[in-house]
Amino acid sequence: SQNPDYDLSTPIPPDSTGLRQSLTSYGDAHFSLFLRKVFIKALGYSEDALSRPIIGIVNTYSSFNPCHANIPQLIEAVKRGVQLNGGLAIDFPTISIHEAFSSPTSMYLRNLMSMDTEEMIKAQPCDAVVLIGGCDKTTPAQLMGGLSANKPILHLVTGPMMPGSHKGVRLGACTDCRNNWASYRAGTIDIEEISAINNELAPTAGTCGVMGTASTMACILVGLGLMPFGGASAPAVSSARLRIAEETGGNAVAALKRDLRPQKLLTRESFLNAITVLQAIGGSTNAVVHLMAIVGRHLDTELVSSINLDTINEIGRQTPLLVDLKPSGDNYMTNFHNSGGMLALLRELRPLLHLNAGTVMGGTIGEQIDQATYIKVPRRLSCIQPFHEPLYPASSLVLLRGNLAPGGALMKASASKRRSLLHHSGPAVVFAGSADMAKRLDDPDLNVTENSVLVLQNIGPVGNPGMPEAGMIPIPRKLASKGVLDMLRISDGRMSGTAGGSIILHISPEAANPSSVLGVVRDGDIITCDVENCRLQIEISDEEIRRRIEKRKAEVEDSRNTETGVQPSWIAREKIRGYRGLYMRSVLQAEQGADFDFLTASGPGLSQ
Ligand code: FES
Ligand code: MG
């Protein structure tokens, strides 16, 4: 019998699947289908192959992306899984983003990747899609794009790299990159030794082996029900990873039959589960920005308005930190995997989870947990703590508000190295930007003590496009040399998921915005951080704040009329060409995920 997908004689229904989906517009729909078949046949497919459901595989392989080096093998395994289950697998490329090869920052390119992903899923005839990614920004970009495209999506991450070894001590990117570089700078290790360490920090393909952003996002994908339990932690180079890839191919065919589209599958409960996971793993602060961007792509306006930064605190208050991984703890992702990974963690978190949330594998997350084979790892060999014996009692990530951050700010309290700073008042030492900081931070005459609050302005989404991971301001040399390990540091930027300290990030509105309070902080202003009450205050009167802001706004407006001189980024962006101009004019603040206004489900009306 004729399959409607390649029967040219029948009318083409508007939302048909298979080869008939997303026809190129030539005016004549039948001719469009005819032409499509001409070209797909040039690839050697038979009529039988073309009659199957088509599962797209998004290929983000790049020779500039070692975190994705195993993708060719993964694609082969996904194809096997699709085709053993009656589908036809067709892979296609999108851009690939690696942290170290993305100037100015990988975050700058995340939204571009999400657009590429969304549009290629929509443009091409695939009925469901397997998204293969892994490095920090790639999985959020793929989920943002996939959610907006709204075909059934299944995530497959490339998996963590193995740890390396130096003098018998385990090493791994990238917490140990920072520690060892600091030792080299301090003269504790020499050039030969740091070179030897350089060979060992990323010894295999795969994503950073600690609880950085890549691992955090992988765990969150499991929490959202978009990936099987082992999917978050099986090493990139393991046979387990290949079996998960094959399973994902099969799952894609099944998800298509059940029409499990992400706009329907992902509910409020799914996101609550994801945030519970984020708090319990002591995850990356970057993941909060990504989650807000993902939520903003959801068409359910009630869901969008009910999941915001305050949800991070509400869930944080009841969620203990259970996973002992660097940078908060001592271990690597391979230890997490060998301790039972996400299945073991979700079993501990069971009382906090919304067990009725759906999964793309079919069934609810509660059913998945109950049905999975679980073999308990002896306590002394596990890096996952029991629920009642946490590493940190609650709120590893805290959202702060106050007159200095009306739109919110974020702190990874569990990573503080000087707990008194969690309740602290001190005078501000202000740097106007990264260049100013580089120039003055180590000046022996800098007026700073260990109780000062270091303030770095203008590293937010518009002020320094791409919102660099520069929020972990180094301790001024004259204090570091006296043994000061931690200070309260605040900015509108981000920090790497592999870093730690008493650091407040993502302050909104950012300093580049002429209406922001962060932009008018001055040396000596007293700043108070009160984690217990989630407050971040500047101790000056409302009237003084208003006066400073009015003055600054007038100066910024005046800069339009100057013929020479550098304009502030807020004004300059109006005339910048290309992607950079688009980025600076469209990017939202951190609490809206630093997405582009025109990409959110509600569109550009959601302005800054
Ligand atoms: Fe790719 Fe760390 S650089 S995950
Ligand atoms: Mg990172």
Q: What is the pLDDT of residues 367-399, one digit of tens each?
A: 999 999 999 999 999 999 999 999 999 999 999
Atom of ligand 1 lying closest to residue 99 CA: 3
**What's the half-sphere exposure (Cβ side, CA atoms, 13 Å) at 358?**
14
Minimum CA distance residue for ligand 1 atom 2: 208
* β-bridge mates for residue 488, sequence order: 453
- Residue 310 above 50 pLDDT? yes
- Residue 604 above 90 pLDDT? no
- Entry pTM: 0.96
Residues lining ligand 2 (ion), CB within 5 A? 136, 212-213, 496
Tokens of 306: 């009910």
Confidence at residue 9, expressed as pLDDT on a 0 to 100 scale: 67
Q: Which of 97, 207, 211 to mutate to test the pocket of ligand 1 (most atoms within 8 A of CB)?
A: 207
Query: What is the rounded average pLDDT for all residues in the chain?
Result: 94
Residue 359 main-chain phi, psi, to 5 deg: -130, 155
Write out pLDDT tens, residues 65-87. 999 999 999 999 999 999 999 99
What one-character DSSP code corresponds to residue 337? H
Atom of ligand 1 lying closest to residue 174 CA: 2
Confidence at residue 4, expressed as pLDDT on a 0 to 100 scale: 55
Four-point Cα dihedral 206, 413, 494, 385, nearest 10: 10
- Residue 2 above 50 pLDDT? no
Write out pLDDT tens, residues 401-439. 999 999 999 999 988 999 999 999 999 999 999 999 999
Taking a C-beta distance cutoff of 8 angstroms, is the pair 208, 173 a contact? yes
- d(Cα 430, Cα 436) in Å, to the nearest integer? 9
Q: Which of 101, 201, 208 to mutate to test the pocket of ligand 1 (most atoms within 8 A of CB)?
A: 208
Which is more confidently placed, 11 or 490?
490
Mean pLDDT calculated for residue range 186-190: 88
Minimum CA distance residue for ligand 1 atom 1: 135
Residue 210 C-alpha to ligand 1 middle, in angstroms? 10
- d(Cα 35, Cα 29) in Å, to the nearest integer? 10
Confidence at residue 6, expressed as pLDDT on a 0 to 100 scale: 55
Residue 100 C-alpha to ligand 2 middle, in angstroms? 9
Q: Which of 135, 233, 284, 333 to mutate to test the pocket of ligand 1 (most atoms within 8 A of CB)?
A: 135
Which is more confidently placed, 298 or 559?
298
Confidence at residue 419, expressed as pLDDT on a 0 to 100 scale: 93
Ligand lying nearest the CA atom of residue 172: 1
Confidence at residue 607, expressed as pLDDT on a 0 to 100 scale: 44
Q: Positive or negative CA dihedral for 384, 387, 391, 397?
A: positive
Q: Which of 92-96, 143-147, 323-327, 461-465 has the lowest mean pLDDT?
A: 323-327
Residue 161 C-alpha to ligand 1 middle, in angstroms? 9
Three-state DSSP class for residue 334: helix
C-alpha to C-alpha distances, 376 to 383, 387, 568, nearest whole angstrom: 12, 15, 58
- Residue 3 above 80 pLDDT? no
Mean pLDDT calculated for residue range 560-573: 85
Spell out the long-range contacts of 577-583 with Cβ–Cβ below 8 A and sequence spacing 24 or more. Answer: 579/112, 580/465, 583/108, 583/111, 583/465, 583/466
Confidence at residue 183, expressed as pLDDT on a 0 to 100 scale: 87
Ligand lying nearest the CA atom of residue 218: 1
Amino acid at 9: S
Parallel/antiparallel/unpaired status of strands 169-171 and 88-93: unpaired
Percent of the chain with pLDDT over 70: 97
The residues lining ligand 1, judged by C-beta closer than 6 Å to any ligand atom, are 67, 98-99, 135-136, 173-174, 207-208, 212, 214
- Residue 497 above 90 pLDDT? no
Residue 190 C-alpha to ligand 1 middle, in angstroms? 26
- Residue 14 above 80 pLDDT? no
Residue 135 C-alpha to ligand 1 middle, in angstroms? 5
> Which pLDDT band holds residue 7 (cuts at 50, 70, 90)?
low
DSSP, residue by residue, 513-534 = STT-SGGG--TT-EEEEETTTT
C-alpha to C-alpha distances, 523 to 39, 231, 487, nearest whole angstrom: 66, 48, 16
Helical (H) or strand (E) element with 56: strand 54-59
Minimum CA distance residue for ligand 1 atom 3: 99
Q: Which of 62, 96, 98 to mutate to test the pocket of ligand 1 (most atoms within 8 A of CB)?
A: 98
Enter the ipTM: 0.94
Residue 208 C-alpha to ligand 1 middle, in angstroms? 5
Atom of ligand 1 lying closest to residue 134 CA: 4
